[in-house]
Amino acid sequence: LDLRFSTTEALKAVQDVVKEDLVLNKKVLEAIEAHTMNSTHLTELLTLIKNLNFQGLKYLVESLQATTLTQEEHLASWAKQGKAIVTDDQPEDQRKLVPTSKEVCLDPDAPILIKKVVEESKLFEMTKTEVIKVVQEEAEKIGLDLKKIISVKAEREYGIFFTDVFGDQAFQRWNDIHKVGVDSLVSDLVMALMVKTQENSRFSLKLRKLIVEHPDQEKLQSKKVKLEALVYKLD
């Protein structure tokens, strides 16, 4: 109680000093009111503890916390205003803002891109012809023959040429047929002649023309000799 009285008296003394300043005077009055309410709550707190009234004690503690927070906010605001009055004559801060640098330094700890990743990224800059060339080279590495593709589905870009002795429908892209070696063309023709179908007949006519116009006639003659030895007559 003595502490509460002395604190209240101190606040009243401060009020007398700042009574001419309406703003500060109002803040002091609010602080006195909050302190008085806080002190009253403390007295009630002791009574509730003494009487073991836990429900009322819980409510009072919550109210006391809210009052204490309000009191601290008032005192902090009051102290801030008082500090502003005292330091109003001080010179302004002479520090100046410096613009940040736009230069970005490389991170020395950043992982180095491996060669394969760099090479793959270059594919996006290649032309269509270059991409096709790369695909062909990669296919050769894994033993994939792009000249002959075995499938049961014919797409728009492809034309079914013939059905082989195994019943598979073999087809190649007609635009790339000139890239096929003459020996492969002759082998395809022989396979087509072994199975009599309308498709194979159409294919044979096209294939005969390609064989005749093929620039590699030397290999063609060699192939003819081998076929005739196997009782195959190729006009």
| Distance in angstroms (rounded) separating the CA atoms of residues 127 and 70 | 73
Of the pLDDT bands very low, low, confident and very high (cuts 50, 70, 90), residue 149 is very low
What local confidence, expressed as pLDDT, does residue 204 receive?
Answer: 74
Residue 76 has pLDDT above 70, yes or no: no
| Distance in angstroms (rounded) separating the CA atoms of residues 235 and 166 | 25
| CB 171, CB 164: distance < 8 Å | no
Residue 28 burial (C-beta neighbours within 10 Å; 0-12, 13-18, 19+): buried
| CB 173, CB 158: distance < 8 Å | yes
If one compares 159 and 130, the residue with the highest pLDDT of the two is 130
**What count of residues does the chain have?**
235
Residue 157 has pLDDT above 50, yes or no: no
Exposure on the CB side of residue 93, measured as CA atoms within 13 A: 3
Of the pLDDT bands very low, low, confident and very high (cuts 50, 70, 90), residue 130 is low
Partnered with residue 160 across adjacent β-strands are 171
**Per-residue pLDDT tens over the stretch 161-210:** 555 555 555 555 555 555 556 666 667 777 767 777 777 777 777 777 77
What local confidence, expressed as pLDDT, does residue 202 receive?
Answer: 74
Q: What is the dihedral of CA 6, 10, 16, 20, to 10 degrees?
A: -150
| Distance in angstroms (rounded) separating the CA atoms of residues 227 and 39 | 118
What local confidence, expressed as pLDDT, does residue 206 receive?
Answer: 74
Exposure on the CB side of residue 108, measured as CA atoms within 13 A: 0
Spatial strand order of the sheet with 169-173 comes to 149-150, 169-173, 158-163
| Distance in angstroms (rounded) separating the CA atoms of residues 159 and 146 | 15
Closest CA to 183 of 226, 231, 146, 233: 226
Of the pLDDT bands very low, low, confident and very high (cuts 50, 70, 90), residue 150 is very low
| CB 160, CB 199: distance < 8 Å | yes
Of the pLDDT bands very low, low, confident and very high (cuts 50, 70, 90), residue 154 is very low
**Per-residue pLDDT tens over the stretch 9-67:** 655 665 565 555 555 556 666 766 666 666 665 566 556 555 555 566 566 556 666 66
Task: Count Cβ atoms below 10 Å from residue 99 Cβ, excluding itself.
Answer: 5
| Distance in angstroms (rounded) separating the CA atoms of residues 184 and 66 | 94
For the chain, the domains span 2-85, 111-144, 147-229
Q: What average pLDDT does the chain have?
A: 59
Amino acid 150 reads I
